[in-house]
Structure 1
Amino acid sequence: MAEMKKGDHYGYWTVLIAYDNKHPAKAFCRCICGKEKWVNRHSLRRGLSKSCGCQINRYTKDYGIKPGDKIGYWTVLRRGGHPNESKAYFLCRCICGKERWVAAHTLINGTSLSCGCKRTDGDNQALVDGREISIAVRKKHLDTKYAGFGRKENKNNTAGVTGVSLAKGGQYRAYIYVNRKQIHLGVFDTLEEAANARRAAEVKYFGPRQKLADEIKNKLK
Structure 2
Amino acid sequence: MPPKKLDLTGQRFGRLTVISELPKEGSSPRWHCVCDCGKTRNTTTILLRRGDCNSCGCLHDEYLAERHSKTDTDITGKRFGKLVALNKVKVEGKKSRMWLCQCDCGEQKTAAASELKKGHVRSCGCLISEHVNSFFEAGTNVPALLANTLSSRNKSGTKGVHFNSRNNKWMAYIMFQRKNYNLGSFENKRDAIQARKEAEARLHGEFLEWYYSRKENKLIPEQPRRKRKHSDEDLIQSLRDVAKQFPDKYLTVWDYASVCRSPTYQTITTRFGSWGEACKKAGVQTVPRSDDADKHRKDYIRDYQRRKKQQWIAEGKCKNCGGDWIPPESKPGKRKASYCLNCQKRTADRLKRRQEKRLELAQSIMLIYAMLQFYK
TM-score normalised over the length of structure 2 = 0.22
Which of the two has greater strand per residue? 1
Which structure carries more helix by proportion? 2
**Larger Cα-atom Rg:** 2
Q: Which protein, 1 or 2, shows the higher relative CO under an 8 Å CA cutoff with sep ≥ 6? A: 1
